[in-house]
Structure 1
Amino acid sequence: MALIRTCAVARGWTIPLLRSERSVSRFVLACMALGFIALIGSAGTAGWFVMKAQDHATWVEHTYEVERRISTLRVLIERLEVARRGYLLSHRQQTKDTFLTTVKDEVPLVSDLRRLTADNPVQQQNLDRFQALAVQHFQLLSRSLVLADKAPELAAAIFTHDQSLGVTRDLRAVTAAMLEEENRLLEQRIAAQREAVNILFYVLAFAGALAVATAIFSILVLRRYTGSLVASREEVLQLADELEDRVEERTRDLSRANEEIQRFAYIVSHDLRSPLVNVMGFTGELEAATKPLAALVDKVEAEAPQLLDQDAAAAAREDLPESIGFIRTSTQKMDRLINAILRLSREGKRVLTPERIDLGQLADAVVASLQHRLDELGAVVTVQRPMPSVVADRLAVEQMLSNLVENAVKYPKPGVPGRIAISAAGDRGRVDIAVADNGRGIDPRDHERIFDLFRRSGQQDQPGEGIGLAHVRALAYRLGGFISCKSALGEGATFTLSLPAQPTTQG
């Protein structure tokens, strides 16, 4: 090398060689500088889009808050009407106090809504109309309460001919319009948020590609400093190990929290059952006591009618049995809800046992268990083959599939024989089980809420408490899967249950 350098100096090559090295170095440094400038610009752009996404998220949360306030306002409207009706029927001071308390709660809620929707002239107009109707509503209801106090015998006539029912319907329509406006804004804001996130991903992808190019040039310049790179790599590995430890710790914490929630639900439901049993028992005793009481009233009416008060007779013959029937219906519903909570809690604690399942055989078994119901309704269930197998908990998959098929049978389109198809397909390590029907369909706005506990959609003409689909989603999550719905009103519905082909349990 020394000899070559000596020859180069002797022949006058030194200056060209130095100039060439400097040109290459300048080129590399210039490319690195441009790369870092572009990276800084990309980082700034990414930061700006992150702030935009956060801003959109804030507006989305704002919209949800407005919707919650509107829903609360709708509840207050119904509570006013219920309290008024209760007072007209019973003349109890408690119902009147409920009416006055609800009126007081309504005023600050409307003020909050006006403040939250100050930037929306449509909602401001809706609130103006609501307040005008609310004043009229309050005046009509108050007038009926005062008249009922002065003339209790006119309570039924007040209840039948009162004009407040029309105002109540107008208030419902206004709040429904407000919810529709917020849903429209929510869709726009979610779309804007998604657009900002998508652009952010593109910027990050560009920044990543630029980082790779800059790293290549950096290696050319900084190859003598590999020692520091190795040290940095070791530090990154250490941070990765720490991150894995933190993730495992958080996972354990979440599992413990989930167990505590399930335990709490079980304890609460179990403790609620004892007083409920007492209420149901005493209701039975009251119901049994109404018969001799009615017989006594009949006897008094026959032997000494001057001693019988007509209101007391009506209470013994009609009001008391009606009230007891209402209590019995309510306690039975509460008993069903408690049983559902207990069942969900037990399912959450049950240990899953993965095994290979032939979905075709399982679907046949589910159809056979519902055959009597199918024959009654004239419905037909078709199991489309071939079907893949899946490794999962058999009982959980059977419960989910049975719930979906039973729902499809339960809600047919009026006048149209039910046709249900069960199919399954595997792709990329997952198995999708679909249950499609030609029933009445589901409003697209309800596609998410139908999976919430105790929530139902459409006409409530079938027995149920809104638990089945919530149970299906909970089981799907535990198996590492999810469930989705595709439907429109009058066009049937397709529920797709997506599960991993191999077991992946979730708490």
Structure 2
Amino acid sequence: MPISQAQFLRSNLILLAGAAIALLIIVIAAFWLTRASERQFDEVVAFRETRSATADLLSLAQDAETGQRGYLLSRDAAYLRPYTDAIARFEPTLQRLKASAGAAELAQAEVTRLEGALRGKLAELAQTIAVAERGAWDEALATVRQGFGRNLMDDVRVGLGSIIAQSEQRLQRAIAGQETASTRLRWTIALGALVIILFAAAAFWTIVRYTREIIAARSEVTALNIGLEQRVQQRTEALTRANEEIQRFAYIVTHDLRAPLVNIMGFTSELEATAAPIKAYFDAGEAATPAALEEARIAVDADLPEAISFIRSSTRKMDGLINAILKISREGKRVLRAEAIDLPAALQAAAAAVHHQASENGDGITVECPPLKIRSDRLSIEQIFGNLLDNAIKYRSPKRELKVVMRAKREKSGWVVIEVEDNGRGIAPTDHERIFELFRRSGTQDKPGEGIGLAHVRTIVRNLGGDITVSSKLDAGTTFSILLPPDLSAVQRSTAT
């Protein structure tokens, strides 16, 4: 239904008012949550200071008592150093505790009581040391044995330990409160920004729609009859392209899901084979030979974990593809997401996923890549490597053991070149471009396939802003060269403009 001028003005005024109200709510909520976070931060600082001062006081009391005991037992004045150091630091530390306890709103009565116990303990220590310094060692030891000082120290430990536990508990609550306030602030800003974006998008959509209707109304009279046939033809071509894309997508889905299914089927068979020595060992019981035991151990420690690992890897790959397919079916087109990719790790992962198919000893695929990172779409990169390695394995030469080398380097321009080189059958020069065409295959048709793999790869590479070429000779191997931009985001921005 066309939008009238009055409806257009009313809609934009409502959207503008809604955005202003949302912005005001964000500001108020952000101010309130920021103040709450600041209060929680002050509490965290106070409780940490209380805990630290309390622990320091307990340590000083223990050091002073250690110095006294050492002096009385050894009668060597050098053992008094912990005592004298503790006495020198006692008063400042006590004042720290009293000040921080007040800021943390702890019970001042408990702090005052502990201060009395601490001072009493220090007085007892000073008295016994003074008696010992006069030479009355037995009298000093007798005073210690009376247990008065021990009782005071026990009271100090319990009291200070209680303050430490209380401070720690309230510290954790304050930290949790601060984290909650920060989380709420982030969500408030995010949700508020989303609401404003939605208002802006609605306003933009209204403006665009209204503008388009005006332009369409002006040109419709003159173009209605003249352009009718042309519009019908364009719509028909668009529908044809969409239908072809749907068919091509169906073929691509089948192709991409085959490789992990083969891995799962192969390692399922390997699991069945691995169970044989284990069953043989248990069936033999006490009569089992050391060789049977060793075979069972290898199966449990090496073969089973390896097979399960590769099955899990393949199922993860299938899960990623299926999720991507479901997303494409909902959106009509998968959105490429640029993220940091460690290229050596990506190459190693692709090689590890199929190394058991390349050779029995696992060294059929090697990776030569310096530390290198790009920003690109991870799923697209994995699909490119998976398709090229699958082709290398499928079209290996029966005359020699398969060798595949995956290498990458950065050019002076900043772009990245990735090469996948194999020593397989090779491709005739006349088919170098043909292999990238949809549903086209080259060479002897003795392997299953629909001819969509390389076409799919080239489409992916070009969607990433790059290109792919091939260099090959029959019976001499093939090298695929992939040229990719270092940052997919820059390519997307330039395409959008």
TM-score relative to the length of structure 1: 0.39
Q: Tell me which structure has the larger Cα radius of gyration.
A: 2
Query: When the two structures are superposed, what TM-score results if normalisation uses the length of structure 2?
Result: 0.40
